[in-house]
Amino acid sequence: MNITTTARHCTLDLDDKQFANTRLEKLARFLRAPERDRVEFHLVVTGEKNRHQAEITLRVMRHELVSREGGLDARAAIDLAAEQLEQQMRRLKDRSAERRKGGRERLADGPPVTDGANGDVSDLFDATGEE
């Protein structure tokens, strides 16, 4: 896992860098083991007057996810951007899981088995409850 941190028009404290690293490492739990080694995060924190903007770019396999958020301090902006990136990763993971499953349905979820002219399940059994 590669994490690159850039500060524009401001300086990041060591505590803020460590917070960003731990927060971004937590996001790796959404990735499979082989992908965790090849993931690349790029964090850009920009200072503007009394606000900070955080932009996190994640490159993994053939996807690039970007989240931008602002806050009163750098740590808040990083946290908000990481939350947004987590939602994007969750959606991507859900989509890929749906794609792997395909359009198949479980038999238990399907319509009941019917036999008979009017399509009623009770037609399968006689009055005594035997087939």
pLDDT recorded at residue 70: 95
Determine, yes or no, domain membership for 95: yes
Determine, yes or no, domain membership for 109: no
Determine, yes or no, domain membership for 130: no
DSSP state of 37: H
Q: Is 82 exposed, middle or buried (0-12, 13-18, 19+ CB in 10 A)?
A: buried
Determine, yes or no, domain membership for 116: no
- DSSP letters along 62-129, please? TEEEEEEEEESSHHHHHHHHHHHHHHHHHHHHHHHHHHHHTT---GGGSPPP--SSS--GGGGS-TTS
Determine, yes or no, domain membership for 118: no
Q: Is 72 exposed, middle or buried (0-12, 13-18, 19+ CB in 10 A)?
A: exposed
| Residue predicted with more confidence, 93 or 73 | 73
Determine, yes or no, domain membership for 78: yes
Confidence of residue 61 (pLDDT cuts 50, 70, 90): confident
How far, in Å, CA of 54 to CA of 21, rounded? 14
Domain that holds residue 52: 2-100
Determine, yes or no, domain membership for 51: yes
How far, in Å, CA of 70 to CA of 50, rounded? 11
Confidence of residue 83 (pLDDT cuts 50, 70, 90): very high
How far, in Å, CA of 115 to CA of 113, rounded? 7
pLDDT recorded at residue 67: 96
pLDDT at 124 over 60: no
Q: What radius of gyration, in Å, describes the C-alpha atoms of the chain?
A: 25
Determine, yes or no, domain membership for 86: yes
Question: What is the tens place of the pLDDT at every residue in 24-49?
Answer: 999 888 888 778 878 889 999 999 98
Number of domains in the chain: 1
Domain with residue 14: its CATH number is: 3.30.160.100
Query: Does the pTM exceed 0.85?
Result: no
What integer best gives the mean pLDDT of the chain?
A: 83
